[in-house]
Structure 1
């Protein structure tokens, strides 16, 4: 009988987990903490409040880290602040209402607490008599381990067993039921001898080894309905890779084929890596990725496919290719057979790789046709999952690996029988190979005939699709939803002028409310817009490629009836400009201003480093830095953004665009655009933040009209008190003021090479913000002598890695990065 306290906990957890199912068995626990915490739409409840039938909290000790610098960055960092420590065997027993596949996620970070150093822990973890971890020795970084189990009992038991004279710990854990049919009961075995045999999966436990999104972009937990992390495939490619990233999210059609975005999100099916055959019509190569696996185990593999490739010449090609794992053929994929050839229909293939003495420790995935000699061959893959299967010992731990020939079921063998079996297998393989080659040649000839017949009948239709402005190939992802015009009119009361919250060169911005009460910002392009169609498309494409907590999120767009409308998340506090001058809004404190500068710098730093080629915003100004209800800054308005120079180039030559007063003088005179152009514009914003006045103010005396000339002249004379916003007078220490002005002066250097990078700038701003926080704590201690300063050590998150939502950074501020592996 579940007590009332747990029933309440279960209801709250289920309500906070509606993205899985309101009827799911869902448990999210913040272990060792007295507080609940919400992370990516999940409420992790304190395990102190569980009933004894679930967990006896008296058996464990709650500990908290004494070094907040050891915590990983990002929203999940709060889950690692505390831990539950066990000195003897302890069990969580979760009541299960509906049987089926469940996910278990375990969060570990061995921090130092006042009473324990968790790095010294040694323990094992099991679930339903499956060994998940054996004699675990924690690494020094945070890690999230994920397991899948088929539960057929009324309870799921998760057991922690410390070694003698040691202890166990857990920071947080998740247990929730997966949707039906997400994982199969069985899957076919890879290999010519076992191609028609299946392995029953439901009798095994599975551990997630790799979950990869193709297309050179990662997908974060907040973008997946089951909170799965999809890593970018770039880390698994070899140097001589023939892949080309593709993006076409609009093409994904979940209504065809019965596969939903629970199997994999649109950001997986809408991106792919394809064979780059554009420069060589006779390319005969495979796409190959290499993954590290532990030998002595079988592996469940899932290959995700979705044809999102639009032929640039308007032809509809027949796309067919083979899947290989460690040179063994898994399956053949013919996209004309997927959902009756429906373009954009998601599809996946499941298989099991048996343990083998060859290729130990590596899994090589290859996509392509071994004998494909067609012109401009097409092969691709969208996503790939690798899950380790428990072995005969009911274990997933590497120490329990079982190698071929050493299994308890195969202790005795006859060499003659083995020889005969081997010869028979070789003959069978030769016969099958001959039949396959003959069938392949026959099918190839037929496919060429069908292709030639379809070129003339389908060509016009494909060209029409290209002319709609559909995105074809990009370096990363995410295009928003295409809104019907009627829905946008409904949300904005038919563009009621009373709902206008901003006006710019593109047009007016309206506040809107969707039917589900979601507040949105609607930017509607005016017919005479100075930005026009090119900037409209640029902004959608730029925002679609990147997700970051300090970049305004694209919700969708509308191009119906010649309208140019972009829908963003609504930012309640409006622009930074409106909180500095020319409005009745309350003035910002110095700390708030520093936090806003740090947030905006993080967003820009991510743009400059978040992909192979930098993205230059080109219109950085206080009016394009928006604030949410908590005054968190987000960079907006990407209509003028430009892809930066290649690695072997120093700049991009382009026409001058931007806002008067913020333009980089070097860019203005030479038309040479670099990331340092954004740094200059940001330096102007920093002056606005400090002085609380516009960049150009014609109402002032002539010597004060230009903010940069007036302010920097006084800075060089040491008269800082004359330029500071009167509201801040006496509220900023002179040392901090000097440091701030020094940073600003470097940003405004006439020569771009003398300016700092956005990463250097961010480091300095973060440092100033930490000093400000330390000063405030010190003042609190002076006001209350009995108070103690906790955690006063300066914290740095200068590269903003934790702020990324699902994006893979290819360049980072190297000296400041501590990469946290969470797979």
Structure 2
């Protein structure tokens, strides 16, 4: 027997328009209903968003012997006391009865807050829910689910088939397998919905088979606005659906680019696709693969979803072209679970015109033979179609679970990890000790959500554990869910473990763009910060090698717990990196801010820092070509910060320890704790306190306390000499004139003896033409005045020229007469340049991406 572990979590209450009609039981003449019941409440009540909830008493069967109760503890992440603080408790099977229009589909939404009611043990709240013969939940434990998903409260949405009688019975039954079990519910919504499932869904892998969605009962698993912001219910044409951000489900670093139609662009709905299918906000934003056709042909744009096994799922993809207007300009293949769902998809070919939305439904059965229990959706340019642009597009995505042949939709309960259970027990012990009164095992207080804005920007948690069975209740392991929150009703931020943190240093926008780890996840991944896991120490604190999600290697940077000096650096790192994605920038996976800890989680860089491969280590010396390629990669990352992101970003701490190397020796610029947003068009600098690392610090910045992007150029010039000479930038053991590498290198260059201080390991490796150009570039970077230094784009051009000179000495003719801004030349060499679109949506900055696709030229 099962209870579903994975659902679409609607953290907001699904706002309704205030003038919507509330139909009483026994009003068959109306073609719509909207019931919002606060179960166990004694009268009408209004939630924090101003919506009215009614008591549930008149909808209960006459034989009902249930009890009402109030939760003994209010979790700080609850968006409102209504409907979650009141509950209806059932000790025997009991039913609600609703009058609905016949032959009309409707949403059924159930809300649960597993807290302590009437001194009942939350762990005994195990029950089933059946609606008109369909099993929606079976041996469902809200307590277990809240623990495993680190959520304080749970909401589930079902789309039920029309009923001829016009009556819907929803029955709650305590589990027969658990002695002393009971059922409860905090809120119920019954909402009429249009019939949006009129077409059969093609069964992937079977050309002649389809799934009849119209006659099926469905559970909403995911509903995503791809490439755009979350859409709240009151922006969904009165249909009260919530569309969430898709970024938590993207697979890998190749996440494409997001874009938006112009403000004056109008979505042209048709009789087949109306706003009932999806609101215009879904169709006016999209995620595409990017402007580089060669890159696009070598990767898939992929989303991964964790689901229940042994069910059929309908994957609905929403499309609308607002960038191109001809057939075969953009054609792509669609894959669902590694099987071709659609070859040569052409949105213009389907819709016939720009701005006309279409959707496609595909069905896939997911068994448990492989144990993965996932749905993968991938897009790839159609090579065989030879389109004008090798690209793909997606505007929206929904996934629905279809009832099985026994009219069942119930999955399995998730399994909380042992670390989580222990953490909750410790938390409860602390709370009881501090208050002197035991409120019981407060699952709701411990399994908190992540606070966010009312638009509910998403972050996610993905945990893999082994399948197990405990206490007679079937358990399911593995989940991948976004954790949403609501900040307007809580004075502080609620962490993923449910602990309120009123001194959060991270904006809700930045927090919504990356994953929020709980402290127990971090401790588990680092073996409780075992010293054997330490792979580095910096100004912020120690860096640990760790694992997440059952084995993924990550780098975990932990601030010194006894110091608050890293607060600004912690905040800046998240604010900067959460909005940037680039091949040569280290990827920030997420953060943890709990119990005074400030922890950052990054992709693991297998080859460590650039410096440890240059000197002061036992590692083999890098070849000159390797050093040159790594320098070029770092220059690309810095060049992107200066000119490719929405605003100029000045790194302010460029050095070889902040250039990391992945397993393929690709350079990644890291450590954005000191970074600053650059000056605007009317101001050439940023006035700020001098910060950075001695030896790399721009002397002009030090003198004038005026920061420009040329300060990064100076620091990078020091890096270039570090690469060439393989010695520390400051060495107090040397004679005074040699202590500073920058000063000594410039001195040697003036005297014509620079070749004497080159790393002996490079003897005979560097071609004279390459060496001359490299030294010339490094010297220009160290010019005393910023105006005399090259731009980062010019530095990149020169280094790429050096590589060509090295590979083809004497045989290469390259025109060196170039404009000061060589950005157009550089962009063609940069590879993937992917930026998460600013969440506030600037039309010009977002549309410029596609302008390069149509007119390939420098940004």
Q: TM-score interval w.r.t. the shorter chain?
A: 0.3 to 0.5
Identify the structure with bigger relative contact order (alpha carbons < 8 Å, sequence gap 6+): 2
- TM-score if structure 1 supplies the norm length? 0.47
- TM-score if structure 2 supplies the norm length? 0.45
